[in-house]
A and B are shown apart, each in its own frame.
Chain A
Amino acid sequence: MTPPFALSQTAINFTYLVAAVLLIVGIRRLSSPPTARSGNWIAAVGMGIAIFFTFLDEDITSYWLIVVGMAIGTVIGVVSARLVKMTAMPQMVALFNGVGGGAAALIAAAEFHRIAPAAGHLSGDSVGAMLFSALIGSISFSGSLVAFGKLQEVLPGRPITYRGQQVVNALLFAALLVVGVLAGSTEQGIWLVLLLLGALLFGVLLVLPIGGADMPVVISLLNAFTGLAAASAGFVLENTALIIGGTLVGASGTLLTVLMGRAMNRSIANVLFGAFGAAPAGGVAAAASTDGKSYREVTADDTAVMLAYAQRVVVVPGYGLAVAQAQHAVRELADLLEARGVDVKYAIHPVAGRMPGHMNVLLAEAQVPYPQLYDMDDINPEFPRTDVALVIGANDVTNPAARDNPESPLYGMPILNVDQAANVVILKRSMSPGFAGIDNDLFYEANSAMLFGDAKSSVEKLVAAVKAA
């Protein structure tokens, strides 16, 4: 039965063209700060057009599954997007990405089931795309869930490694290819089920050995994977909207992954297979170096005096600031200091927080004026002239070992040269190592002092003490 409002395939494909143009314009505008927000909405309108006109496709004969499914998905999507805290954004993106990948894999499975029972019915054109979509979609799904678990700290953030891990992964991947070929040639559902399960396992094993600090790059890579899975689902269904939308994300996501890796001076291969920040298996004295080194502790009052009578202060915010929700208190402190004539700047490392740009989002939330935010390259020459560098919950991005110690696992990562400031005060809960699991040499420098405590309460104490000074 043809639904009453059915449009011709040509008409629907035309609306897909309009949608594709809007998606492209949207992504383009997303790449520039003044137009980013409208770009997001333009892309959303494009998406809305594609979805709306798909309802009018003559192939759709039953609506209730779609309507109920979309209603449930909308409620979950709206609620989770509204409730998530800004600090938990990265893992939220990971989840949204995962379900997208899962959807692509399920589409492939449903199509396989529809066509496969009668052998010889799988067309050579689409079978490859179908299996690719199942494989990549499943990897993206389970990989994203592991990434979510690590960022949410349900799973340990440290890399989980064991001997022969890469051999196991390589063998599993080879086995998946064999299973894929069997699924395509025999057209037996059992092989597809094996492919899906194996790919889910592979996604887990792929992400487990990667350290929490590298999760943004992993999420970005899985984002590109999901894009490709969606595009190949488009090949299966011969649907241009899917091919264009999915491919755009696959291509731009891959480039974005490379850009992010570059900001951390890491190659993608290194992120995936380097087990970065693993327990010091290679003899690198990461954890052991705490022995025999001493650090200095300082009180909030002393720090406040130091700040109040400084000329130049640079605040180095990190994830610890975000977790403690201290960004508003920090802005208050900066306002107070500025009122006393102190020059206050914020040094933003490209990967401060847990995603590139994450810290900018958080500070903007606290209404810190943009001109005060400085990128790494702009602020680094300033440190030698800085009286006090206030490191709030940042760790790995300030570790001088990344610059000076070729044996450090961090070596080569661009850092903020905080140690060059006259005084460094580090606000931190304890002496525990950072997200990458590596001890920070900065804490033991002669010009460094530790102010222990929760970032928010420490900053509030500083605010009160500066007021009194």
Chain B
Amino acid sequence: MSMTLLNSITVFVLAVFIGIEIISKVPTMLHTPLMSGTNAIHGIVLVGAMLIAGSADSDLEKALAFVAVVFATINVVGGFLVTDRMLEMFKRKPSKPDSE
């Protein structure tokens, strides 16, 4: 096992503990927004897609990486915006007229 891999595993294990700790007490009301918010966060895979798309040599690799960039961007952008729309609902704005 290389040192790099060991470092990666260390980061992984610590992140597992943090991930569990930070959401251990969530009211049911926030389950949906939280799921949506964490959903946006795994869009971080975009960083990986960018690294591959920016250094791809073959056409196949470029095609795969391109689709990956599109997909991951949808995940990030859509994820954060949808979460914000959900959370916006929780804020009271009495002056806002009902529109539907």
Contact = CB atoms under 8 A, between A and B. Distances in A.
Nearest to A362: B89
B19 A239 contact: no
Size class of the A contact interface (CB-based, 8 Å) = 35 or more
Contact of B31 (A40, A51, A110, A260): A260
A57 B51 CA distance: 8
Interface in A14-71: 23-24, 26-28, 30-33, 36-37, 39-41, 43-44, 47, 50-51, 54-55, 57, 59-63, 65-66, 68-70
Interface string A362-391: 101111001000010000000000000000
Contacts of A260: 31
Contact of B81 (A36, A81, A251, A254): A81
Given A70-B69, A230-B44, A248-B15, 20 more contacts: A27-B19, A28-B23, A31-B23, A31-B34, A37-B90, A47-B43, A51-B47, A60-B50, A62-B54, A65-B53, A73-B69, A78-B77, A93-B32, A106-B49, A113-B58, A113-B61, A250-B19, A252-B38, A256-B26, A367-B94
Interface stretch (A84-92, A167-175, A304-312, A443-451): A84-92
A249 B19 contact: yes
A143 B11 CA distance: 28
The 6 tightest CB contacts between A and B, nearest first, are: A73-B73, A251-B19, A60-B54, A77-B77, A69-B69, A245-B44
Interface of B: 1-2, 4-5, 8, 11-12, 15-20, 22-58, 60-62, 64-94, 96, 98, 100
A51 B46 contact: yes
B51 A60 contact: yes
Contacts of B77: 73-74, 77-78, 81
A110 B72 CA distance: 15
A24 B88 contact: no
A437 interface: no
Chain A binding surface, main DSSP class: helix
Contact of A255 (B19, B53, B83): B19
B48 A73 contact: no
A31 B22 contact: yes
A72 B31 CA distance: 30
B98 A367 contact: yes
B22 to A, nearest CB: 4
6 contacts: A37-B90, A37-B91, A54-B51, A66-B69, A100-B75, A247-B12
A244 interface: yes
A206 B17 CA distance: 28
Contacts of A350: 28
